[in-house]
Amino acid sequence: MKAHFDRVGISGKKIHPGEIWTVANENIVFPETRLPGFKETEHETRPVIILSCQEDCNNPLNVIVLICPLTTRTDIVSPTDCLLSRIEGSVEKESLAHLGLIQPNTYPPALP
């Protein structure tokens, strides 16, 4: 696992459930982007919440982590979104957690 961390430029960092990490936006799947004519605001990176349990995060054989993408666009809310205020934790701005878009990502999350 140390070699994998070193390859992506992270040394000695462990991932913990509930942490917010930055992921390359191209590694996150947004189903609506497949719709004809859909235009997404281009971002290089996106914050995500780590959802995998600590046991999975500590497992040296694990190469996948579950993530939940975040957005600061709070004017369009789906029934599966959860509003996060700045007061509640590590988010810099009021954000939505897209719980309907929970998905696997590489461990550690793919960084730009």
How buried is 96 (Cβ within 10 angstroms: 0-12 exposed, 13-18 middle, 19+ buried)? buried
Give first-to-last CA distance, the chain, whole Å: 19
pLDDT at 112: 45
When pLDDT is cut at 50, 70 and 90, the band that residue 37 belongs to is confident
Domains and CATH numbers, the chain: 2-106 (2.30.30)
Average pLDDT over every residue of 58-76: 88
- Residue 64 Cα distances to 6, 9, 44, 72, 100, angstroms: 16, 17, 21, 25, 18
CA pair distance 18, 54, nearest whole angstrom: 10
Q: How many DSSP H helices and E strands does the chain contain? A: 2, 6
Pick the closest to residue 79 from 104, 97, 103 (CA basis): 97
Is the per-residue pLDDT at 103 higher than 90? yes
Eight-state DSSP code of residue 8: T
Average pLDDT over every residue of 89-104: 87
pLDDT at 4: 53
Q: Could you give phi then psi for residue 34, rounded to 5 degrees?
A: -85, -10
**Higher pLDDT pick, 26 / 90:** 26
